[in-house]
Structure 1
Amino acid sequence: MFDSVINYMDKFGPELLVIQFGFLIILSTLFLWLWFSNRRKYHNLKHAIPATVVKSYLDSIIQNSTALKSSLFRGGGLDVTGGSVPSVMPLQNLGGGDGLAVSGAPSTALLEEINQKKAYIASLESQLSSTQGSQREIETKLNQSQGNLNSAEGKIKELEKLLADARNNAGAAAGGGAGDAGLKKELDMVTRERDEIRDRLKEFEIISDDLANLKRLQQENEQLKRSLAAQGGAAPAPAPTPEPAKAIDPNNILSTADVSDLLADLGNSTPAESTTDTNALEDFLASEEPAAEAAPEEDTSEADMLAAMNEQKSDDKSKSDKTPEDLLSEFEKMLG
């Protein structure tokens, strides 16, 4: 058998050499093609960046963005002075990223974590922008309410002045029908303006809800800062609902101001002025009570008018016997 193989190789020697050279050329061509196709990949693997360095760099970017947002809300963090914010923090001051390792191509887990951090940062930035917009709207409403409050205070002072003028006119025109009509007209005007001021003060009660919303937004800002500092931790907990602000009672405000003015006037007035103020206050109380009012009809006779005037004079005498404390108590009941 060995002799037959030798004879076969001797007979077909050139053909076998050609076949062997053909196989060698095919194998060398295949190896060259594989090397050229994977040359870039091999080069990148030779210069691959460790996963810890990439993780530390991303953590530094997140911390810098957190510090910048915290400085905008006066919440601390890095001190931003001179308009300069560091682009990255020193790597020796950063931690984390030890659990990730890349032994060749970039890890799929690392890429997924990077994408999650980017999406989380984008969501936090959108929440921050919406919070800033709502805060600006609330500040604008507060400024408008402050202006309205100043105008209301000025209007209240004007009403107090009108009330003082009405008291003076009532004392000067006591016993005259035309004077009573003018006093009643002025008192009606003052009462109408007072009702308008009360309605405006009721509108100011709505501002208390805006103040409560401002407090809630501040708490949400604190939650956002803590969530950014946690570096991709758990989602921020909902902010606790603040207690509703106490509503303003316009009746108490008006009654307190009126009673304080009356006390000051009664304490500083002479006996003659006290009698005049007592009559004016009693007339004001009588005009505010709808049960005690009786509008004169057009067909009233002169005798009825004279009897009414005499009866009014007798009522004035009986009213003058009342003490200022009784009048003040009646005035507080009417306002309250």
Structure 2
Amino acid sequence: MSFLYWLSKFSQEAMLVELLLIACVTASYFGFLLIQKRRYGVAKKNIPDHVVRAFLVELLSFSEGFKNQLFGDEFKILAGKGLSVPAEPTVAASGVDAGELAAIRAALATSTAKVGELTALIAALTKDKSGLEARLAAAPASSAGGGADPKALADANDKIGKLESKLAEYEVIEDDLANLKKYQQENKQLRAQLEAGGKTPNVAPPAAAAPVAAPTAPAMPSLEPAVSAASPAPSEQAESASPVAAAEESAAASKA
């Protein structure tokens, strides 16, 4: 009531001035709100580049600091590769079961011994093969230059039979060579697993080689000496030299 009474004391001009002041204050307030909305509303949608750049630089500095604290100053990530986190937790070398390590070492020792045995066997067989090839090279000359002695021809037949049986044995060595390669691969894998921290090997322990049947010598055509005082005919010499040629061909095939 006092406010209305105070307003009623003024004239109409005073009332208009008061209304004008009220309108100015209201317009100023709404103008201030509009300016603030335009200024900060645009800033929320479009952030200046320098602000974003400064924020990214700060993030990079923080990430470098965390990386140095976790992995050291010399840690580097290769280009195109990120940090790979294993799906399953790995077991440290100190926590590996002693029985597993003993089994791995036993398998490694067995494979190493087997590789050594096969290497020595291959060296011995290679040496025997070179000697047999030399004998085969000397056999045609001795058979061609010999006379009609039955004992010499029988000895030549025995030697040729032994040589062909030896050459048949060399065909079996291919399986041993395959086993040697297998043991060498298992040896490398076991060594790599031991060096990696004693993880459980995925390779099964080397199985014993299957027994190889004894090779049978091919049937030899008998060489009967021609009972005559003169030298043998050319056809007889060709028949006596044919087993030697067959032995030479089998030796060349096994060598290839």
TM over 0.5: no
TM value normalised by structure 1: 0.34
Larger radius of gyration: 2
The structure whose RCO (Cα within 8 Å, separation 6+) is larger is: 2
